[in-house]
Structure 1
Amino acid sequence: MTASPTASRTPFDASRLSALIQDGDSRVGPVTVVGTTGSTNADLADAFRADPGLADRTVIVAEEQVTARGRLGRRWSAPAGAQVIMSVLLRPSVQEVPAERFGELPLLIGVAIAETARAVGVDAQLKWPNDVIVSDRRSGDTPHGYRKLAGILVEAVSLDPVAVVVGVGVNASITAGEFADAGVEAGTSLTDQGAELGSVQAREALAAAELSWIADVDEAWRRGGAALEKLRRRYRELSATLGTRVRAELPGGEELTGTAVDLDGQGGLVIETVGGERRTVTAGDVVHLRPVPTTDQRN
């Protein structure tokens, strides 16, 4: 008998989850589990400011966020237990990661989240700069041909010492009806895509797997060289943006339309217009990035 899509929403067992995470991957730091909070990113940033000696890869996991923010301050909330919500503190040294590499961290974290989803049978892809998506299986139901599965928000907390908070929210069991009630027309969840999350233990295992993938990505990002190049190649393999026609909506009402052809070494997206001009946009530049029909020739 197939479990209810909401069967995994029982609250996390904090002791069990912490043991599962840290026994499974010693690279992950101390884990705190909370019920309802405003924002795990804000909580972790505040914890670091109160204690600048906070351990590398310290984690906060929450059942529910009520004032969470996405990129550009966009708000989103979901029923308690319907997501896997976490923030991770990364403390690389300036010798490990040059400043110019910080811009690509949200993209690389996307690989970790997509791989976690793929491990439970969901064909996740990456939409530049910070969304994990699934192509819309109900063709025509969404205006852009995809549904959002997860979002990523990376925020710098300190430059000296370096401290970065990586926030991730994965839609675990949100139903189509709940998305509709919230006015979200293009959302999806792991269970909506056929993944089996029949218990809270399954959701705890998902959180543990996600953190292990994040540790893998963080190690490659810090190490650089061949490890980082391999990770960048994997991003390109999972990208639903590269090779497609896109329209970037920029501040002030400007629009840039062309083909997304590459990424620069700092996480910027290179767009080639019909006239052959190449322009690089950063996540901070773009209000929205949308796919467009190939017949649209505006540039």
Structure 2
Amino acid sequence: MQYPETEAVASRFEAIDESASTNAALRVLSSDTEAWPHLSVLLTDNQTAGRGRLDRSWVSPAGSALAISVLLRELPSSPEAMGWIPLIAGVAMAQAVSAQLPGHDVGVKWPNDVLVDGRKISGILAESTGGAVVVGAGVNTAMTEKQLPVPTATSFAVLGESADADLLVAAYVGRLGDLVASLVTWGDAVRSGVHAAVSARCASLGREVDVSLPDGTVLHGTALRLESDGRLCVRSDGIEHLIAAGDVVHARLK
């Protein structure tokens, strides 16, 4: 398949037949700073050993999903602003998916799973490499109901739609680049508009959630808001808890 729209947005674009992990491959390639500049993209529809958050494996039948990795070199200087990168990617993917699924409810389950009508269609993993960040995203495109990894997942095919992969990736990369650029320019999520953009797409806010904590306990409460650094504020038994990205296994919508 050709990707002319994506090639017009990305600084460099490579589609490969197969990859164990596009994130791992792009991390290696990123050592060549001239050949792989900011907003370079590596893509495959046959990823054989992908990883999700918390080292979960992510494997799908060949041709059933896209694995997209984007290299970010132009990054905000503050650690607080850097924490928004995964959330920005979730919003960018949600907007790209929504453009091809009119009439469906598309949102982001904090911090960065993209849901369609409450079921996961995409997951994102951001990884630092040297002075850069590689943002990996998996999108279920042609996956059938039987091929879905869990009952709470979905795909374009299950929804009765055929994804335009080129337009999907181009929209995602373009929006990701724009949001990162705004964050770099303004230096913080509020002034850049990133906080508002992520909050507007966050399907967790205002809902009852279960948050699995590192000590094995589960916090049940209501997701109230996003803090200035992207942490999720959850009120449980009258107490507000601030949940950092590294502490959350999942936030299950009720």
Q: TM-score, normalised by structure 2?
A: 0.90
Query: Where do 1:208-223 residues align within 5 Å?
Result: 208-223=170-185
Return the index of the structure with the highest Cα Rg.
Answer: 1
Counterpart of 1:88 in 2: which secondary structure?
strand
Q: Report Cα offsets for 1:183-232 as digits up to 9, x if no partner.
A: x21110123224334xxxx3223222222222222222222268854332
Change in 2 beyond 3 A, CA 1:85/1:250 = same
Q: Which residue does the alignment assign to 2:239? A: 277
Q: Which residue does the alignment assign to 1:117? A: 97
Q: Which residue does the alignment assign to 1:234? A: 197
Distance 2:243 2:93 in 1: 23
Distance 2:58 2:124 in 1: 12
Letter in 2 for 1:20: E
- Percent of aligned pairs with the same residue? 34
CA contact (8 A) 1:220 1:227 kept: no
Deviation at 1:73, TM superposition (A): 0.6
Q: Which residue does the alignment assign to 2:62? A: 80
Q: Which residue does the alignment assign to 2:153? A: 187
Aligned Cα RMSD in Å? Answer: 2.0
Distance 1:190 1:262 in 2: 30
Q: Which residue does the alignment assign to 2:78? A: 98
Q: Does 1:259 align with 2:225?
A: no
CA contact (8 A) 1:243 1:259 kept: yes
2:126 to 147, 154, 178: 154
CA contact (8 A) 1:154 1:167 kept: yes
- After the TM superposition, which of the residue ranges 248-257 and 222-231 deviates more from structure 2? 222-231
Change in 2 beyond 3 A, CA 1:226/1:147 = closer
CA contact (8 A) 1:84 1:207 kept: no
Q: Report Cα offsets for 1:145-185 as digits up to 9, x if no partner.
A: x3111001001111xxx200011111112111222xx5x21
Counterpart of 1:35 in 2: which secondary structure?
coil
Distance 2:91 2:11 in 1: 21
Deviating runs (4+, > 6 A) in structure 1? none
Runs of at least 5 residues in structure 1 that lack an aligned partner in the other structure: 1-11, 136-145, 293-299
